[in-house]
Amino acid sequence: MNTKLYELTKQGVIRMILRRGDDGNYLLGISDGTHNPLYLNGSQETIENKLDQALANFTADTRKQDIADKLNEAEEAQVESPPASVQTPRKTTVPTSASAHTTSRTERSEEQMELDLAFNF
């Protein structure tokens, strides 16, 4: 069996389908579940001859796709978080002015309403 198939499993699980058609030709499908699958069609000799080159192209394509996905994720993360040079406006507290009216504790207690604590038995 081809050693490149075993190399593909280092990245995770792969699925292979080998089917023989009514015409005597074979269909070989290889997929890792996340990238575009590899399909080979033809006689047994044709598939065996093309398998090495097809697997090399398949692994190169999956690497390119993984790199492109990582770059897209990084770009999306940069769009979501604003750059450090852009500062968000901060809430500022306004100091109380010296002319603000302050009331003493006695003035506040005089302004409060009296509570009726009369209990009717």
Q: What is the pLDDT of residues 70-93, one digit of tens each?
A: 888 888 888 776 555 655 566 666
Q: What is the pLDDT of residue 42?
A: 93
The number of distinct structural domains making up the chain is 1
Is residue 121 one of the residues assigned to a domain? no
- The string of pLDDT tens digits covering residues 25-41 is 999 998 888 888 889 99
Note down the domain range covering 47.
3-80
Q: Is the pLDDT of residue 20 over 90?
A: yes
Report whether 13 contacts 33 (CB < 8 A). yes
* Total-model pTM: 0.53
Is residue 108 a part of any domain in this protein?
no
Helices (H), the chain: 3-8, 44-80, 105-111
What DSSP line would sit under 30-63, residue for residue? EE-SSSPPEEEEE-HHHHHHHHHHHHHHHHHHHH
Does residue 61 sit within a domain? yes
- Whether 60 shows a pLDDT value over 90: the answer reads no
Cα torsion angle, 88, 91, 92, 94, sign: positive
- Domain-located, residue 21: yes
112 within some domain: no
Do the domain assignments include residue 118? no
Mean pLDDT of all residues belonging to the chain: 76
Q: Is residue 46 part of a domain?
A: yes
